[in-house]
Amino acid sequence: MKLPIYFDNAATTRVDPRVFEKMAPFFTETFGNAASRNHVFGWTAEKAADDAREQLGAALGASGKEIVFTSGATESNNLAIKGAAEMYRDKGDHIITCVTEHKAVLDPCKHLEQLGYRVTFLPVDRTGSIDLDELKRSITDKTILISLMAANNEVGTIHPIERIGAIAHERGLLFHTDATQAFGKMPINVDAMNIDLLSASGHKVYGPKGIGLLYVRRKNPRVRLAAQMDGGGHERGMRSGTLNVPGIVGFAEAARICVAEMPVEAPRIQQLRDRLHQGIASQLTHVTLNGHPEHRLPGIVNLSFEFVEGEALMMGMKDIAVSSGSACTSASLEPSYVLRALGVGDELAHSSIRFSLGRFNTQEEVDYVTAQAVAAVKRLRELSPLYEMAQEGVDVSKVQWKA
């Protein structure tokens, strides 16, 4: 086993060596511009990009023609939300999303609010799930778009995409889903799920950074978007800019591997994740799971360790890379807005750690991380005045803190 251990696969992933191998010639040999129509360099680059497009389309149950390449999921989300809002301004000015979306969805929505659009930010329950009846009730005759993520990046909760898509189509609305975390980790079919727009990213699926896609439905309905990047008219005019051919080739190969190996990989990673969770929970008291107990991505387990602060805990788990919802890991001093939205409470949000497992993690690593986490929590609880008070029978939540 090699240190340090990487349990932060929801942040980014290591490029699969098979993907890297596929990409390599496109830097130094087949380096043409896919838009060069008059010579073999351009033709081979275009062919590679089109093959990749078909492969990525197939991974979604879509046609390659429906794939628009972008720099990553942030750009895809911006293009989907702003592009649809601008294009369908005549039809309405109302967008529905939810409070636990990634900033790359929330911020474009807030930007549109400033331009006069109206946005409904649906709340979530303790598991991170929205209420579908509330979604239905919030639809008005001015609603044009529903944007709800397939799976959450912090807690891993999976939204019932298929049912949301059905609701959207019943009412004649467009449905966009940010599938950055879900793509390649769970089966997705844009037709079965009534998805009109879908964002995905290369680097979350063992592909390279700097490449993403936006699926844009071409029929039933045909979705049109106002370009957010003007220029040479690439990608059917929706996203100008020279294609990142090595990135595209790598993304497609990464997606191909994910889809092909998913039946074996997903249960394996889930088993590791559950082993980690159970190992920790069986040795420590006051550990709570954030997110949905079942409807959750196979790799993510977000735990709150009561009486212990998240950043201190990460310091204690030497040579292990994880994330925390603690304020102290960011410049803002505000704890995770996602955990807050789940009603976790600021104290437990400060005490949270997200472990995200992936393809290259092993059981040996899980056991090592379990032991390190348990030891660090025990040590920090000995240092914690809150733990001491709890041991003395004081209900810490009832204390009047003057802060």
Contacting positions for another protein (CB under 8 A): 307-309, 311-312, 315, 326-329, 331, 333, 335, 345-347, 350, 382-389, 392, 394, 396, 398-403
Burial category of 260 from C-beta neighbours within 10 Å (exposed 0-12, middle 13-18, buried 19 and up): exposed
Beta carbons of 214 and 80 less than 8 angstroms apart = yes
Tell the smallest beta-carbon distance from residue 310 to another protein (Å).
8
Burial category of 82 from C-beta neighbours within 10 Å (exposed 0-12, middle 13-18, buried 19 and up): buried
Tell the smallest beta-carbon distance from residue 210 to another protein (Å).
25
Nearer Cβ to another protein, position 289 or 389?
389
Nearer Cβ to another protein, position 219 or 402?
402
Task: Spell out the residues 6+ positions from residue 79 whose beta carbon is closer than 8 angstroms to its own.
Answer: 68, 70, 214, 225, 227, 228, 229, 238, 239
For residue 221, whether the previous peptide bond is cis, meaning omega lies within 30 degrees of 0, is yes
Nearest-angstrom CA–CA distance, 313 and 327: 13
Residue 188, both tokens: 């997705």
Tell the smallest beta-carbon distance from residue 352 to another protein (Å).
11
Task: Spell out the residues 6+ positions from residue 151 whose beta carbon is closer than 8 angstroms to its own.
Answer: 157, 158, 159, 179, 181, 182, 185, 186, 296, 297
Tell the smallest beta-carbon distance from residue 397 to another protein (Å).
8
Nearest-angstrom CA–CA distance, 373 and 40: 56
In one letter, which amino acid is 215? Y
Tell me which of 98, 109, 258, 328 is the catalytic residue. 328
Nearer Cβ to another protein, position 95 or 322?
322
Nearest-angstrom CA–CA distance, 15 and 31: 20
Nearer Cβ to another protein, position 214 or 341?
341
Tell the smallest beta-carbon distance from residue 3 to another protein (Å).
17
Nearest-angstrom CA–CA distance, 190 and 360: 28
Nearer Cβ to another protein, position 352 or 361?
352
Nearer Cβ to another protein, position 28 or 401?
401
Tell the smallest beta-carbon distance from residue 346 to another protein (Å).
4
User: In what order do the strands lie in the sheet containing 287-290?
Assistant: 287-290, 300-305, 352-356, 323-324
Tell the smallest beta-carbon distance from residue 255 to another protein (Å).
34
Nearer Cβ to another protein, position 192 or 383?
383
328 is catalytic: yes
In one letter, which amino acid is 100? T
DSSP 84: H
In one letter, which amino acid is 218? R
From the list 88, 111, 63, 95, the residue with the least C-alpha distance to 216 is 63
Which residues are marked as active site? 328
